[in-house]
A = this chain, B = another copy of it.
Amino acid sequence: MTKKVVIIGGVATGMKTAARLRRRDPEVEIIVLERGPSLSYGACGFPYFIGGDVASFSKFDHTPQGIPRDAAFFRDVKGIDARTGCNVTAIDRAAKKVTYVEAGEEKQLPYDVLVLGTGSTPVKLPLPHADAGGIHSFWFPWDVQAVDQELRERNVTDVVIIGAGFIGMELAEAFHKRGLTTSVVEMQDRVLPQMLDKEMADRLEKPIRAAGIQLYLAEKTTGFTEEAGVVTGVVTDKRVIPAQLVIVAVGVRPNVELAKAAGLKLGPTGCIAVNEYLQTSDAAIYAGGDCAENTHRVGGAKVFTPMGSTANKHGRVIADNICGDRIKYPGVLATGVCQILDWQAGSTGLNERTAAAAGFKFKSVVVPGQDRLAYMPGAKSLIVKLLAEEGTGRVLGVQAVGMGGVDKRIDTLVAAISLGATLEDLSNFDIAYAPPFNGPIDNIATAANVLENKLAECFRGVNPKDFEAVRDHEDYLFVDVRTKGEFAKNRIAGIKQMVNMPLGEIRAHCQELPVKEGQKIITSCQIDLRGYEAEVILRGKGFKNVCSLEGGMSAWPYATECDEK
C-alpha cells in the first residue's frame, strides 16, 4: 500500500515538501489542503508590486513562463493533488485523520504522515478604530490587492506605516517611490530593531530622513482617527499623523491553533516545537515554515524567524525525512537583509542584544570602508559591525549598512558563522579580489583584524553610541588627525576640547597636545584607520589613557558641524 502524505498549507513549506516528495517517490500519495484561493505564491515580493517594480501580480503565482501555479499545474506538472479552499478544522492523531471544510461541507482525510505548513498571521493592534477603512495588514495576497485598490480608487496622499521592520521599511520605500507622503511609526528607538544595533540603525536613519520619509521612533501608536468609518490619522503618544492609508506591520504570529488543539507541543516562542528532523512531538507529524520553531545556530536559543527562504529549506528536509532519510535541519542565523532607497542593511548571527541574552562575553567593532577599491567608479560606502566572543575569538554576528556590497558580506559571514569561524579564519579567507569587486583586504578581513586588535587590547575603540552618550559631559581631549581640509569640511559637533593635528605631525608634535595629566585622549579620523595609528603612536610615546572613535566620521550617525555653515 502506498504511503499517504497530507500537507496542511499550500504556500512555501507545503508545496516545496510536496514537489520534492514527488520527485523522490513517484508512488507516494500527496494531498495538499490550502484554505486560501492561491498556491505557492511568493509573498516576499509584494512590496515591490506596490512600489511598481513588479508590474503584474501574476509574477507571484505564475511560473516564469506565465503558467499559473494552480491546482491543474500541480496535478499535471508536479503530480500533486493540491486543493484550495480547504480549511482544516481538526487533527485526530489517534485515528490519523484530519477534518476539513470544503465549500461548506465537512470532510475527512486519513494520513500516514501529516505536514503542518500553516504559516503565520499578522498581528493586529487592539486599539480604538483599528478596524476603520483604510487600515490594512500587508501579508496575504488579499491584503496586497486591497492596498493596491485603495491606491487606485481613493485619493491617498499620506500613508503611515506602523512598524519599522523589513516589511515596514520596504513598504516605506514603495510608497515614497509613488510620490506619497510616507511616515513610519516605530515603538522601539530605531529602524529595523530586530536586526540592527542602535548606532548602525542610527547611521541608516540619516539617508532615510534625508530622502523625505518621516520616521517617528520610540513612539507608541495609541489609536486612529476616522471620518465616516475611514481612517484620517494615526494617533501616537506624541502626535496625530494625517493618513488616508495605514499599514500595520508590527509583526506576525505563528498559526498554531490546529496543532495546539491536537495536543502537539509548542515551544517557548509559541511556535510548534520540532526536533532536528522537523518532527513535532508526534513523530508522524512534521512542521515547517513560519509555524515551526527554529533553533539559532549561535547559542542555540529557540527563535521565531518567519522567512520564505527558511520555509523552503524546511520543505526539502521534511520531504527527505518522509522518504526515510534522517536529515537534520541545523537551524537559522536570523539572517536578514533590506534595501531602503539607495541604502542596504543586513545582519546575521547575534547582535548586542541577542548575544547578551545568550550569555556570551563579547566585544564588537564598527569598521567603515568602501565596497570595492575606493578609486574605482561606483565604489560605495559600507559600514561593517562585527561581534566576537572574548577568549575564543569565535564570530558571533555581523551587521552591515551601506550603499553597496552589504549582501555579499552578510552571506560570506553566514557561511563562516554556520561553520564556527573565528576572527583568525575571517582574517585569512582567500576572498575574491579584483578592483571592481573588492579591496586587497576585504571589509570583513579588516573588521576581523580590528576586532582581533581590540580583543588583544592593542586597539581601544569607543563605539559611536557610547561616545555620543558621554560626549557633552565627560572630560577628554578629542584629537582629530585628519588633514586641515577634511577637518574644516565636517567634524563632530559639540565637543568642548577638540584639536586638529594631522597624523603626519603626531610623531613629532604630540607633546604639544593640550592634554592634562591623566586626561583621556580620543583620537579620530575619517574611518578610524589614521585614528588607530594615532592611538598606537600616542601610547608608544607614553600617553596612558588613549582610545579612538570607532568608525570615525564615516560611521558617525550624530550631529556634525563645518566651518562653512
Nearest B residue to A314 via CB reads: B428
A407→B407 contact, CB < 8 A? no
A42 — which chain B residues lie within 8 A by C-beta? 373, 440
A122-176 contacts to B, CB under 8 A, are: 166, 170
A53→B504 contact, CB < 8 A? no
Copies of this chain per assembly: 2
B44→A434 contact, CB < 8 A? yes
A442 — which chain B residues lie within 8 A by C-beta? 309, 411
Please tell me if A359 contacts chain B, counting CB pairs below 8 Å: no
The contact string, 1 if C-beta is below 8 Å from chain B, for chain A 429-454, is 11111111110111001000100000
The contact string, 1 if C-beta is below 8 Å from chain B, for chain A 29-48, is 00000000000001011001
Please tell me if A338 contacts chain B, counting CB pairs below 8 Å: yes
A42-89 contacts to B, CB under 8 A, are: 42, 44-45, 48, 53-54, 59, 64-65, 67, 73, 76-79
B414→A310 contact, CB < 8 A? no
A309→B73 contact, CB < 8 A? no
The contact string, 1 if C-beta is below 8 Å from chain B, for chain A 221-257, is 0000000000000000000000000000000000000
B79→A507 contact, CB < 8 A? yes
B79→A373 contact, CB < 8 A? no
A433 — which chain B residues lie within 8 A by C-beta? 44, 307-309, 335, 337
Nearest B residue to A309 via CB reads: B433
Nearest B residue to A435 via CB reads: B45
Q: How far is the CA of A376 from the CA of B373 in the complex (A)?
A: 28
* Chain B proximity of A312: nearest CB distance (Å): 5
The contact string, 1 if C-beta is below 8 Å from chain B, for chain A 472-495, is 000000000011001000000000
Contact of A421 among B419, B441, B449 (CB under 8 A): B419
A509-551 contacts to B, CB under 8 A, are: 532-533, 536-537, 539-541
Given contacts A335-B433, A412-B412, A421-B415, contact A23 B458 (CB under 8 A): yes
Please tell me if A384 contacts chain B, counting CB pairs below 8 Å: no
Nearest B residue to A439 via CB reads: B309
B376→A54 contact, CB < 8 A? yes
Given contacts A416-B419, A419-B425, contact A437 B337 (CB under 8 A): yes
Q: How far is the CA of A419 from the CA of B422 in the complex (A)?
A: 10
Contact of A375 among B54, B309, B376, B437 (CB under 8 A): B54
Contact of A432 among B337, B434, B436, B508 (CB under 8 A): B337
Contact of A77 among B418, B436, B503 (CB under 8 A): B503
* Chain B proximity of A62: nearest CB distance (Å): 10
Please tell me if A332 contacts chain B, counting CB pairs below 8 Å: yes
Q: How far is the CA of A541 from the CA of B297 in the complex (A)?
A: 41
Please tell me if A333 contacts chain B, counting CB pairs below 8 Å: yes
B483→A65 contact, CB < 8 A? yes
Nearest B residue to A332 via CB reads: B430
A344 — which chain B residues lie within 8 A by C-beta? 437
B441→A375 contact, CB < 8 A? no
Given contacts A54-B376, A503-B77, contact A65 B431 (CB under 8 A): no
* Chain B proximity of A228: nearest CB distance (Å): 37
Please tell me if A391 contacts chain B, counting CB pairs below 8 Å: no
A438 — which chain B residues lie within 8 A by C-beta? 309, 337, 407
Please tell me if A424 contacts chain B, counting CB pairs below 8 Å: yes
A309 — which chain B residues lie within 8 A by C-beta? 430-431, 433, 438, 440-442
Nearest B residue to A16 via CB reads: B441
* Chain B proximity of A530: nearest CB distance (Å): 8
A339→B434 contact, CB < 8 A? yes
A440→B308 contact, CB < 8 A? yes
* Chain B proximity of A550: nearest CB distance (Å): 16
Please tell me if A271 contacts chain B, counting CB pairs below 8 Å: no
Contact of A335 among B334, B338, B431, B507 (CB under 8 A): B431
A373 — which chain B residues lie within 8 A by C-beta? 42, 44-45
6 contacts between A and B (CB under 8 A): A48-B376, A65-B482, A307-B433, A339-B437, A414-B430, A415-B415
| 4 pairs of A and B residues whose beta carbons are closest in the complex | A26-B540, A419-B419, A337-B432, A415-B415
Known contacts A26-B537, A415-B415, A415-B419; can you find 14 more A-B pairs with CB under 8 A?
A: A23-B536, A44-B435, A44-B440, A45-B375, A48-B376, A79-B507, A166-B434, A310-B430, A312-B440, A317-B428, A327-B424, A337-B434, A344-B437, A411-B431
A interface residues, Cβ below 8 angstroms from B: 12, 23-24, 26, 42, 44-45, 48, 53-54, 59, 64-65, 67, 73, 76-79, 166, 170, 297, 307-313, 316-317, 327, 329-339, 344, 346, 348, 373-377, 407-408, 410-416, 418-421, 424-425, 427-438, 440-442, 445, 449, 458, 482-483, 486, 503-505, 507-508, 532-533, 536-537, 539-541
